Amino acid sequence: MNKTKETFVFGFALFAGFFGAGNLVLPPLLGFKSGTDWWLVTLGFIISATIIPLLAIFAHARLQGTMFDFGKKVSPIFSLIFCFCLFAITVALPCPRTAAVTHEMAIAPFFGTSSLLTSVVYFVLVFVFVMNRNKVLSILGKYLTPIIVLIVLAIIVIGVLSPATKMNPSSFELPIISGLLEGYQTYDAMAGIIMGGVVLVSINNSKNVLSFTEKKRMVAKSGLIAMFGLLIVYAGLIAVGAFYNGQFDNNISRTDLLSGLAVKTLGEIGSTFLSILIAVACFTTAIAIIVSFADFFKAYFKTFKNAYLLTAIFCCIVGIGIGQMDVKYIIDIALPVLMFIYPLCIVLILLNIIPEKLASALVFKWVVLITFIFSIPDFLGFVIPAENLEPIKLIIPLAHQNLGWVMPAIATFILVNIFEKSIKSN
């Protein structure tokens, strides 16, 4: 396979890995609630769900190691803990969510079987694909991704071009911030850190012998292809949700709205097409997540021959247990966790793509520490009464928007750089 073709295959595979059906249910409801402000919500959503993940892929292209390298400038111990936290969260939430979405939208409406049976069959099939990891990216990139893209684009194009009723006004006070925070639920920034390593492993396992610069370009171009696809799909689904927000009940669920949009745009056969899309998109994401983890543990525990196998088995068992729960429940319990881990992901991604002279080990340590501290109120806001945190949030800029870490992190970055330069000049 020539390098150009291989780059597109990796790009399509990345797109499939990022764009799971768990993410498919998020944009339409966001657009539905945003109404006439859908473009502002889209802007916020794209920042956290597309731009930040793309920067993570660029960081991988620059580092060309594993996700462990993202935090090693803070300390090896921190980086290891951070990696394990990402693993624990992703294995416990977005990966099982793919099985839950598959059951609610692709299995239960047609067969009426139990969610446990769906979860078991689903992760047994995922395990089979994971154990053939050398063929996974090729299968995802060549066959499964085109199916996803064609069905989603059909819904978007018909939905945008078809006449619809007048849009209702937005229910968001700050549309951009609402879109930004909803983008956390895609897990795409985390996926960028995790999945960039899959592409690197696959490139290293390919028959092409590439230099550091060639691999850097291939990873970066693959990321651009994947994120361009995500940009079109996310923006399109938000727009369709907004254009049809006068045709559904205000309390409609995420899954029911997506099903309703499929029927309105593609007719009665739309529900069948959507079921195929859900099954394929969920499946590709679950495979990509578990392959990523198994690759990492295989690389980290080099002397342990069964690291890949046991990691895959563990992930699938956890997926079966949590995947039988309701989609809404899995999304709701994820909110406080994401408020805690997502800021750390963002600052580590940004610090790894800026010039090294501005991102010394000291800068890494202080920015990560301050981000961690100022993310605590955002996390606690979902587990304790809001009035208990009001005195703290009053003195932290953007705290009421659940972005209290942003200004302190920026200030710390500037101050530590000034301090280091003053030390060197003396």
List Cα–Cα distances, 385 to 177, 377, 378, 412, in angstroms.
22, 11, 12, 29
How many whole angstroms separate alpha carbon 121 and alpha carbon 119?
6
Specify the range with the lowest mean pLDDT, choosing from 83-87, 300-304, 337-341, 389-393: 300-304
* 192 close to 57: Cβ distance less than 8 angstroms: yes
How many whole angstroms separate alpha carbon 78 and alpha carbon 85?
10
- At 226 the pLDDT is 86
**Residues near 8 by beta carbon (within 8 Å), at least 6 away in sequence:** 141, 225
Structure tokens at 345: 């992901």
Residue range 259-277: mean pLDDT, rounded: 84
Specify the range with the lowest mean pLDDT, choosing from 41-45, 201-205, 388-392: 201-205
Give the model's confidence band at 371: pLDDT under 50 very low, under 70 low, under 90 confident, else very high.
very high
Q: Where are the alpha helices (DSSP H) in 19-114?
A: 21-24, 26-34, 38-46, 52-63, 76-92, 94-102, 108-111
Residue range 211-221: mean pLDDT, rounded: 84
For 168-177, the pLDDT digits (tens) are 888 898 999 9
- At 207 the pLDDT is 67
Q: Please say if the pLDDT value at position 138 is more than 80.
A: no
Q: Please say if the pLDDT value at position 407 is more than 90.
A: yes
DSSP, res 246: T
| Dihedral angle of Cα 298, 333, 383, 406, to the nearest 10 degrees | 60
Helix (H, G, I), strand (E, B) or coil at 164: coil
* 68 close to 79: Cβ distance less than 8 angstroms: yes
Angle at 35 between CA 228 and CA 282, to 5 degrees: 45
For 312-333, the pLDDT digits (tens) are 999 999 999 999 998 888 888 8
Question: First and final CA of the chain: distance in angstroms?
Answer: 55
Domains, in order of start, for the chain: 3-335 (1.20.1740.10), 354-426 (no CATH)
* 34 close to 40: Cβ distance less than 8 angstroms: yes
Q: Which residue has the higher pLDDT, 22 or 5?
A: 5
How many whole angstroms separate alpha carbon 375 and alpha carbon 390?
15
Burial of 270 (0-12, 13-18, 19+ CB in 10 A): buried
List Cα–Cα distances, 361 to 265, 352, 409, in angstroms.
52, 11, 15
Q: Please say if the pLDDT value at position 145 is more than 70.
A: no
Percent of the chain clearing pLDDT 90 (strictly above):
34
Give the model's confidence band at 253: pLDDT under 50 very low, under 70 low, under 90 confident, else very high.
confident
- At 125 the pLDDT is 92
Q: Where are the alpha helices (DSSP H) in 206-326?
A: 212-243, 254-266, 270-300, 307-323
Nearest one of 192, 172, 178, 174 to 342, comparing CA atoms:
192
How many whole angstroms separate alpha carbon 406 and alpha carbon 393?
13
For 349-360, the pLDDT digits (tens) are 999 999 999 999
DSSP, res 269: T
For 282-292, the pLDDT digits (tens) are 887 888 788 87
pTM above 0.85, yes or no: yes
User: Which amino acid appears at position 376 of this protein?
Assistant: I
Structure tokens at 81: 């803990």
* 17 close to 137: Cβ distance less than 8 angstroms: no
Residue range 114-135: mean pLDDT, rounded: 88
- At 268 the pLDDT is 80
- At 220 the pLDDT is 87
How many whole angstroms separate alpha carbon 228 and alpha carbon 51?
10
